[in-house]
Amino acid sequence: MIRSDIIRGHLESIILRLIIEKDRYGYEISKEISLRTNNRFQIKEATLYAVFQRLEKKELIASYIGDISHGGRRKYYTITTLGKAYLKETRKEWQETKEIIDLFMEGLE
């Protein structure tokens, strides 16, 4: 299992990355994270919704209510133009961070 504190600082980027592919709702995002990480990382519902609130407040995502399905209306999230620019920027930051960490961690026995 991956230490969640290592990933916590990147949750906004991870969520934006999933939303840029297509509009998604909360449960779908949490399932997709588990699926793509082979259950090595799971996001708690409370954490997920706290990140949604932060992203909406920063105007990086917007939400809307979808059509009725399975008895209820789901709240979907879509990425904004600002969100796309932010994601591009955090991707660059991540590449640099990864290079620096690799300098010190690669080659260890």
pLDDT at 48: 94
* Region 4-105: CATH code: 1.10.10.10
Q: Is the pLDDT at 71 greater than 80, yes or no?
A: no
- Name the pLDDT band for 106 (thresholds 50, 70, 90): confident
| Matching residue, tokens 């640099």 | 96
pLDDT at 26: 94
- Region 2-15: mean pLDDT is 83
| Matching residue, tokens 């008895």 | 71
The tens digit of pLDDT for each residue in 11-63 reads 999 999 999 999 999 999 999 999 999 998 999 889 999 999 999 999 999 99
pTM of the model: 0.86
- Please state the domain extents for the chain: 4-105
